[in-house]
Structure 1
Amino acid sequence: MKQVPATPDPNRPAKLEAFNRLLTIMDELRENCPWDKKQTLESLRHLTIEETYELSDAILENDLPEIKKELGDLMLHNVFYARIASEQKAFDIADVLNAICDKLIERHPHIYSDVVANDEETVKSNWEKIKLKTGNKSVLQGVPGSLPALVKAIRIQDKARGVGFDWERKEQVWEKVEEEMQEFKAEFNATAPEAINHEKAMAEFGDLLFSLVNYARFINIDPEEALERTNKKFIKRFQYLETESAKDGKTMGEMTLAEMDVYWNRAKNL
């Protein structure tokens, strides 16, 4: 495939200067600020995770000014990690940027070589196959073990699909959802008087969730985003319940469920 040159960016000098400014400030902080001087790769880790979730929240809220702010925080973290690594003579920011550039060129042979890929699925499939040829022993090797379980399920299924291990039609996936629901109900019968086998019920519930994630993927729904939107909706309605009942002189924990439902139903209509 013949590579089409990228459209010239008239703002490239300003962008490069801004990045250079960040590198300079990072050097100054690392050498002069007591807090910045103390930081390590490990001490920054939990802060980076927190910043990533804050960016995710801003994206879900479509808050562009906040997205800009959170992207800046994450950019700072990237530069910070590279600065610490350079002090250890391991790598610097140039190594980081060149490595990702090399990786992108290698993983996009349909742009930088003669491979043909005219749709997204082919691109993703090529990506996973190239990873296997360049050292990965498993397609699933690149799924971080510390990912939240729901996100991990999405990534596992995406990667398996990339090498052709997937259902052919969404109807087949829904049949699997219904099958897993029946298996879960068999282990957790809500109307049965006897105690359930907790381990078996948990295993079946996990299978059910995994199959629901799979179906969501087939109909182009991001399960993580869908659940987070529901979380935010619940929080908004529950806080309305708290606020409005307090205005009427009522106290949470002392109201009946029927009384709380009055406010809950009002919140649903807002």
Structure 2
Amino acid sequence: MPSIDDLLTIMRTLRAPEGGCPWDREQSFATIAPYTIEEAYEVADAIDHGDMEALRDELGDLLFQVVFHAQMAAEAGHFGFDDVVAAICDKMIRRHPHVFGQAEARNATEQTQAWEATKEAERAAKGTDSVLDGIARSLPPMTRALKLQARAARVGFDWAKPLDVVDKIDEELAEIKAEITDDAELDRVEDEMGDLLFACANLARKLTIDPERCLKRANAKFERRFRHIESELRRAGRNPAQASLDEMEELWVQAKHQERSKGDGP
């Protein structure tokens, strides 16, 4: 049975100046980073589909990304794979004193609060200047918005209740309508659109729901209903480009009614 040592050897061989793979040798942290993100999404997709065989393979691909970055770091004299393992082991032990230390066991909510408190102390020890420090800029924008809002909320900068955020959404919507009406420059419209999306993320956070999950459901709903339009038009020997908007809207409503009768969606 191959071990992690075998994988490390494979990675060193691929990056070897002589006899290695030309593509692997040419890569850098920056060029590999997109693949690392892609592999993480593929892990999530396998989980979403309940495909354990795919999950096994995708976890291997993700592990290979970790090994790839560690090898490049070792070549540059920064750190090696063993240092990565040591760092995460130390962090997990430090952040679970109720398991590895003398602290009392907590329920999940209390443990989440303690975890955040430990992270806050770690950031303070590093001499950070802002409660917002440490939130990766490369995160998906919606995820980063939630993290920024949650950090600010911990020091009291937050809306009192969800309906307050709804009022803010109405305000932002009015502003983007005004920009569109005035035929404003694209940059101004984008700015207002960003404010609107940020406010929507804030509302989701206040309602303790995941906006990414909400949008994922909306995407699936749109895909189901549009595929229904395509299917019905195909029965008639046509395609969407040959149909009017009114025809497609009628088929959209038909799909919605069918879903409701089956209990598949709102």
Measured against the shorter chain, the TM-score band is 0.7 to 0.9
Query: Which residue type is aligned with residue 10 of structure 2?
Result: I
Residues 187 and 200 in structure 1, CA contact (< 8 A), matched pair in contact too: no
The match for 1:257 is 245
Change (3 A) 1:201 1:182: farther
TM-aligned CA deviation for residue 74 of structure 1: 0.9
Structure 2 counterparts to residues 40-189 of structure 1, below 5 A: 40-115=28-103, 118=106, 119-135=110-126, 136-161=128-153, 163-165=154-156, 167=158, 172-189=160-177
Amino acid paired to 2:76: Q
Distance 1:42 1:167, change over 3 A: closer
Distance 1:219 1:151, change over 3 A: same
TM-superposition CA deviations, 1:168-219 (whole Å, max 9, x none): 8xxx3322222213322442458x9952666776555544433332332243
Q: State the SS of the aligned residue for 2:172.
A: helix
Contact 1:154-1:213 within 8 A present in 2 as well = yes
The offset of 1:58, in angstroms, is: 2.9
Identity rate of aligned residues, in percent? 36
| 2: CA distance, partners of 1:193 / 1:87 | 53
- CA shift at 1:241, angstroms? 2.1
Matched, 1:213 2:201: yes
- Deviation digits for residues 213-262 of structure 1, max 9, x if unmatched? 23322433111122122113312332332243123211222211221134
Cα gap change, 1:194 to 1:23, in 2 (>3 Å): closer
Name the residue aligned to 2:219: 231
Following the alignment from structure 2 to structure 1, what is the Cα–Cα distance between the partners of residues 45 and 214? 13
Give the distance between the partners of 1:137 and 1:110, measured in 2 at CA.
29
Structure ranking higher on relative contact order (CA contacts 8 Å, 6+ apart): 1
User: What is the CA-CA distance between 1:57 and the residue it aligns to?
Assistant: 2.9
**Larger displacement relative to structure 2 (177-186 or 141-150):** 177-186
Who is 2:264 aligned against? Answer: none
Q: One-letter code of the match for 2:117? A: N
Query: CA contact under 8 A between 2:176 and 2:192: conserved in structure 1?
Result: no
SS state at 1:253 partner: helix
Tell me: CA distance 1:27–1:67, structure 2 relative to 1, closer, same or farther (3 Å).
same
Q: Distance in 2 between matches of 1:116 and 1:200?
A: 53
Q: Is residue 19 of structure 1 aligned with residue 4 of structure 2?
A: yes
Answer yes or no: is the 8 Å Cα contact 1:216–1:223 preserved in 2. Answer: yes
Q: How many angstroms does 1:126 deviate by? A: 1.3
The aligned amino acid for 1:227 is L
Distance in 2 (alpha carbons) for counterparts of 1:67 and 1:46: 19
**Which of 30, 35, 40 is the equivalent residue of 2:15?**
30
Identify if the C-alpha distance between structure 1 residues 92 and 234 changes in structure 2 by more than 3 Å, giving closer, same or farther. Answer: same
* Change beyond 3 A, Cα 1:50–1:266: same
Residues 185/213 of structure 1: CA separation in 2 closer, same or farther (3 Å cut): closer
- Describe the SS at the equivalent of 2:237: coil
Aligned residues: 250
Cα gap change, 1:75 to 1:193, in 2 (>3 Å):
closer
Q: Contact 1:117–1:123 at 8 Å: present in 2 too?
A: no
Cα distance in 2 for residues equivalent to 1:64 and 1:220? 29
Deviation for aligned residue 1:94: 0.1
Whole-angstrom CA distance in 2 between matches of 1:159 and 1:71: 30
Question: What is the TM-score with the length of structure 1 in the denominator?
Answer: 0.77
Amino acid at match of 2:182: A
